[in-house]
């Protein structure tokens, strides 16, 4: 009997040691909960928020950093993805159909084998097949809006122009009652200008306005859409002569819905 | 005694009842499964007789107060697996030992084989009962998952149940007919039964492996989980063969270690020198079996991991570089324990030989080599640090120890550990013998050169590929390293066998002349194997993360989170304690059957005829 007790005590001690080591010998990492589809409201997001959403997906649900990180070296670094896209689309090995940087980046997410960066192909395929899964399927399964957000993030990361338009009818998953009360989107540019009281500072088209900001009556004749978009989002980036910097609020990027921004830019660009 | 006998008689019936339950459960649920989720069928499913994987919510998982469904299924599955591994492994080496006995006409082997199978016979019933329990828990807590799997694997589940009857029949005939089928043709019939038993048992395991691996790497279904109707495609999924190989090898190692623990206990309890000698020999043989399977086990693990990476790089990285990376530090402790315990037992066993004194001085070098290899394996790559520590260190990687954290260093370590263990074994074999062949010096020099060149080659391959090539090629050295190790093991064993053919014995081996301490090494092996299997079961299953079936069937239960290592360790330990308690019961029952009590005065006197 004494042998029996000794053996039992010995076995329990061994088990206790293994358990203790698992608790105290290694860090207790709480694995992330199952990912959920990111809610993207119909136009209820600024482009900055959309880029930030892309970064969140890139670092989290998209599982991109598992391979695209500076340590592992399992997949190409993406800091220059937007710039490299132009060269890669001209490469003889390119088998995709993209015509722009945005299309290329989108294609690389859903058809990763369209272009495989040298040295990163599956073993034995001579860099013709990518080990990367289709991000719109499988366990990652990003929605259309999420894919677009990642593309926007990659464009922003590379320092190229963010050309992605926020999808207006995709991925609207969150229920209205779950959201805090939000401003109803404006129906057109005139309503938007009225809501934000732009004419308090600017003269816009036929509408009378104050002299605090530049006259925008024929702004489309001298400035293109990209300039106008930036002027709204980052008003202090290029302040016209004779006007004081810091007067126009720099918060419109957060206040305007993406669709509103585009409507407003198109309206201003047409004022010629 | 009557109770024990009753239990032994009742267990086979319970086993059959469990098998019937499996059969009926699969048959009853399978037809429903094909049409279960018709309302949510995907576009492509309309033309198919099979439904897509259902989209579930938390409400689809029945909750029973006081029960956690996941832990219940986890424990039942793990306990079933432990017992199944044991009862499938034992007939493999019983068959081999019986064949050796027939070849050498040494009856001791036959007795040993019988002793082994006797231990496993009661465990067989428990295996079936636990399988039934697993099935009940699955149906109760995960009904939609079971329906979905039964819809795909209904044919193989029916075959599984039928094969289980065949397995039971052959096993009982093999065991109960042992003393009946002796000598001449009858012995060949008995050996054939053993072969058949292994064939059916292995087929059973392969079928069950198909269900498990389908959940990891589904095949024969489309993106929505709609089954194509091709059962073979679903069975022959990407990870089926790698798991089959890994489990066969691991089962033998595990089974050997459990029988070793049985022999160790019988050795410690033995009251006569004969009993001590018998159980010492049994323990040695069991340990030899366990170690023989342990040596190739890391290679089977490499193959499985490589196939996981090939199937899904994301899954592979989650396994080795994600949240589970720290689990491999625990695994390193366990494997280090296994190797040290196995070697310690061999070194202690040299005490049986009068000639071992010639080799004792080498033991400390082998121990040092194994410990260094273990420490390399144990070294983590990334350190969890405070900001101050991070600043002081200049990054998350230690300048000297950091490079030891990556896989190439581990590959060198594990191959070296295996070769040191091989050396221990060769030393043990030689301990009591003096070779008589003329080419002894040449043979020794060849073996020394073989080990030296092999270790250098393993070291060079690991360092070159690991530290001077792109990450993608970092583990490219593992295959030539493995081949080097295997080549050394085979070549050195062949040379040693030839060299010691007709060798003189220093003195007869003193079976039983071994310390009690060495027997605890056998217990350590059994407990470490059990715990290791539980831990690796957790990681294999957790790799699916929040999927019942990877990428096609989402786990929406409240337990669809991956538990921390500490949480998993608690469940594994609880399971290991229950398993050990049941194993003790099995050992006790196997002893009780041999006891006879004369109940004087209890029975009425037989009437005179």
pLDDT digits (tens, 9 = 90+) for A180-192: 445 677 788 888 8
- Pick the more confident residue, B185 or A239: B185
pLDDT in tens, A60-93: 888 888 778 776 667 888 888 888 998 999 998 9
Q: What is the pLDDT of residue B21?
A: 45
Write out the DSSP string of A80-104. Answer: THHHHHHHHHHSTT------SHHHH
**Closest chain A CA to residue B384:** A27
Q: What is the pLDDT of residue B387?
A: 60
pLDDT in tens, B508-540: 889 999 999 999 999 999 999 999 999 999 999
How far apart are alpha carbons B421 and B346 in whole angstroms? 9
Position B461 pLDDT exceeds 80: yes
By Cβ distance, the residue of A18, A29, A63 closest to B531 is A18
Average pLDDT value over all residues in chain A: 80
Q: What is the pLDDT of residue B153?
A: 95
Contact between B313 and A63 under an 8 Å Cβ cutoff? The reply is no
pLDDT in tens, A242-257: 777 777 877 777 777 7
Contact across the interface for B322 and A131, Cβ inside 8 Å: no
Contact across the interface for A33 and B547, Cβ inside 8 Å: no
How far apart are alpha carbons B491 and B479 in whole angstroms? 18
Position B70 pLDDT exceeds 60: yes
Position B415 pLDDT exceeds 60: yes
B496-499: long-range contacts at Cβ-Cβ below 8 A with a sequence spacing of 24 or more?
Answer: B496/B426, B496/B429, B496/B430, B496/B443, B496/B447, B498/B437, B498/B443, B499/B435, B499/B437, B499/B439, B499/B440, B499/B443, B499/B444
Q: What is the pLDDT of residue B475?
A: 64
Helix (H) or strand (E) holding B548: strand B547-549
Joined together, the tokens standing for residue B512 give 């039983």
pTM above threshold 0.80? no
Q: What is the pLDDT of residue B44?
A: 43
Task: Return the sign of the alpha-carbon dihedral for residues B163, B169, B172, B178.
Answer: negative
Joined together, the tokens standing for residue B236 give 């022959």
Q: What is the pLDDT of residue A132?
A: 86
Q: What is the pLDDT of residue A198?
A: 82
Hey, which of B78-92, B103-117, B454-468 has the most confident mean pLDDT?
B78-92
* Mean pLDDT for the stretch of residues A91-117: 91
* Mean pLDDT for the stretch of residues B263-279: 92
ipTM attached to this prediction:
0.82
Q: What is the pLDDT of residue B386?
A: 60
- Pick the more confident residue, B10 or B416: B416
Q: What is the pLDDT of residue A272?
A: 81
pLDDT in tens, B155-210: 999 999 999 999 999 999 999 999 999 988 999 999 999 999 999 999 999 999 99
The pLDDT-based confidence of A161 (bands split at 50, 70, 90) is confident
Task: Return the sign of the alpha-carbon dihedral for residues A237, A242, A246, A250.
Answer: negative
- DSSP designation for A25: I
Contact across the interface for A26 and B562, Cβ inside 8 Å: no
How far apart are alpha carbons B23 and B570 in whole angstroms? 33
* Mean pLDDT for the stretch of residues B389-403: 66
Chain A residues with at least one Cβ partner in B under 8 Å: 3-4, 7-8, 10-12, 14-16, 18-19, 21-23, 25-31, 33-34, 63, 66-67, 72-74, 119-120, 123, 131-133, 137-141
User: For chain B, what percent of residues have pLDDT higher than 70?
Assistant: 87
User: For chain B, what percent of residues have pLDDT higher than 90?
Assistant: 56
The pLDDT-based confidence of B11 (bands split at 50, 70, 90) is very low
* Mean pLDDT for the stretch of residues B315-342: 84
> Cα B460 to the chain's mean position, in Å?
31
Average pLDDT value over all residues in chain B: 85
By Cβ distance, the residue of B314, B470, B527 closest to A139 is B314
- Pick the more confident residue, B270 or A211: B270
* Mean pLDDT for the stretch of residues B143-153: 95
Q: What is the pLDDT of residue B471?
A: 60
| Chain B residues near residue A25 by CB distance under 8 angstroms | 329-330, 333
- Pick the more confident residue, B236 or B38: B236
What is the distance in angstroms between the Cα of B4 and the nearest Cα belonging to chain A? 19
> Cα B192 to the chain's mean position, in Å?
25
Q: What is the pLDDT of residue B385?
A: 56
Position B588 pLDDT exceeds 60: yes
């Amino acid at each position: 009997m004494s042998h029996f007790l000794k053996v039992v005590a010995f076995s329990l001690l061994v088990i206790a040691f293994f358990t203790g080591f698992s608790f105290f010998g290694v860090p207790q990492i709480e694995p992330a909960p199952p990912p959920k589809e990111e809610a993207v409201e119909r136009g209820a997001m600024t482009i900055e928020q959309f880029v930030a959403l892309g970064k969140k997906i890139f670092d989290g649900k998209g599982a991109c950093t598992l391979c695209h990180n500076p340590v592992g070296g399992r997949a190409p670094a993406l800091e220059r993805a937007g710039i490299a896209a132009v060269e890669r689309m001209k490469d003889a090995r390119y088998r995709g159909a993209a015509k722009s940087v945005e299309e290329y980046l989108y294609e690389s997410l859903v058809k990763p084998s369209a272009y495989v960066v040298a040295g990163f192909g599956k073993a034995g395929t001579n860099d013709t097949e990518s080990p990367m899964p289709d991000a719109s399927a499988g366990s990652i399964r990003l929605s259309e809006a999420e894919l677009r957000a990642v593309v926007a993030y990659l464009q922003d990361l590379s320092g190229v122009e963010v050309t992605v338009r926020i999808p207006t009818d995709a991925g609207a998953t969150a229920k209205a009652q779950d959201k805090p009360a939000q401003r109803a989107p404006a129906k057109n540019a005139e309503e938007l200008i009225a809501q934000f009281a732009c004419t308090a500072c600017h003269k816009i088209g036929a509408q009378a306005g104050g002299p605090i900001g530049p006259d925008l009556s024929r702004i489309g004749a001298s400035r293109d859409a990209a300039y106008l978009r930036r002027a709204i989002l980052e008003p202090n980036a290029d302040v016209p002569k004779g006007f004081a910097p810091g007067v126009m609020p720099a918060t419109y990027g957060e206040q305007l819905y993406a669709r509103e921004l585009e409507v407003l830019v198109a309206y201003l660009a047409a004022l010629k | 005694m009557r109770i024990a006998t009753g239990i032994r008689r009742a267990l086979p019936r319970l086993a059959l009842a469990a098998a019937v339950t499996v059969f009926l459960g699969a048959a009853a649920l399978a037809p429903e499964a094909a049409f279960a989720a018709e309302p949510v069928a995907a576009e492509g499913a309309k033309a198919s007789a099979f439904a897509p994987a259902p989209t579930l919510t938390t409400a689809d998982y029945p909750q029973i107060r006081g029960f956690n469904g996941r832990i219940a299924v986890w424990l039942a599955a793990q306990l079933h697996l432990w017992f199944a591994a044991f009862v499938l492994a034992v007939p493999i080496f019983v068959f081999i030992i019986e064949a050796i006995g027939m070849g050498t006409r040494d009856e001791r082997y036959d007795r040993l084989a019988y002793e082994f199978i006797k231990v496993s016979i009661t465990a067989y019933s428990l295996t079936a009962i636990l399988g039934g329990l697993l099935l009940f828990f699955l149906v109760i807590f995960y009904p939609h998952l079971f329906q979905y799997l039964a819809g795909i694997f209904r044919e193989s589940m029916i075959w599984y149940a039928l094969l289980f009857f065949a397995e039971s029949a052959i096993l009982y005939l093999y065991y109960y007919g042992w003393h009946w089928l002796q000598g001449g043709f009858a012995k060949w019939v008995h050996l054939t039964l053993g072969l058949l038993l292994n064939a059916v048992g292995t087929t059973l395991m392969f079928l069950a492996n198909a269900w498990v691996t389908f959940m990891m790497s589904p095949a024969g279904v489309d993106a929505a989980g709609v089954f194509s109707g091709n059962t073979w495609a679903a069975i022959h999924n990407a990870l089926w063969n790698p798991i089959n190989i890994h489990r066969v090898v691991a089962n033998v190692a595990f089974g050997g270690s459990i029988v070793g623990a049985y022999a160790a206990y019988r050795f410690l309890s033995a009251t006569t020198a004969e009993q001590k000698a018998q159980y010492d020999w049994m323990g040695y043989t069991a340990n030899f079996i366990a170690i023989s399977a342990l040596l190739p086990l890391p290679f089977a693990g490499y193959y499985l991991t490589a196939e996981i990476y090939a199937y899904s790089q994301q899954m592979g990285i989650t396994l080795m570089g994600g949240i589970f990376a720290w689990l491999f530090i625990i695994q390193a402790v366990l494997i280090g324990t296994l190797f040290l315990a196995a070697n310690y037992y061999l070194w202690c066993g040299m005490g049986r030989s009068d000639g071992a004194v010639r080799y004792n001085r080498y033991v400390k070098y082998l121990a040092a080599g194994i410990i260094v290899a273990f420490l390399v394996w144990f070294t983590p790559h990334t350190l969890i640090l405070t900001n101050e520590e991070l600043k002081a260190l200049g990054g998350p990687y230690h300048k000297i120890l950091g490079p030891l954290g990556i896989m190439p260093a581990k590959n060198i370590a594990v191959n070296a550990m295996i070769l040191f263990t091989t050396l221990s074994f060769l030393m043990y074999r030689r301990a009591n013998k003096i070779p008589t062949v003329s080419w002894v010096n040449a043979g020794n020099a060849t073996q020394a050169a073989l080990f030296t060149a092999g270790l250098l080659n393993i070291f060079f391959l690991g360092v070159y590929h690991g530290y001077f090539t792109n990450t993608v090629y970092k583990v490219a050295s593992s295959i030539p390293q493995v081949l080097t190790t295997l080549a050394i093991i085979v070549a050195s064993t062949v040379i040693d066998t030839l060299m010691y053919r007709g060798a003189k014995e220093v003195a007869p081996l003193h079976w039983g002349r071994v310390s009690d301490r060495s027997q605890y090494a056998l217990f350590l092996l059994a407990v470490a194997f059990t715990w290791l299997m539980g831990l690796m079961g957790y990681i294999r299953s957790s790799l699916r993360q929040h999927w019942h079936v990877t990428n096609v069937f989402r786990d929406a239960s409240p337990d669809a989170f991956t538990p921390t290592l500490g949480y998993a360790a608690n469940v594994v330990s609880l399971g290991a304690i229950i398993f050990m308690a049941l194993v003790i019961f099995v050992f006790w029952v196997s002893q009780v059957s041999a006891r006879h009590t004369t109940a004087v005065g209890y029975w009425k006197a037989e009437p005179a005829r």
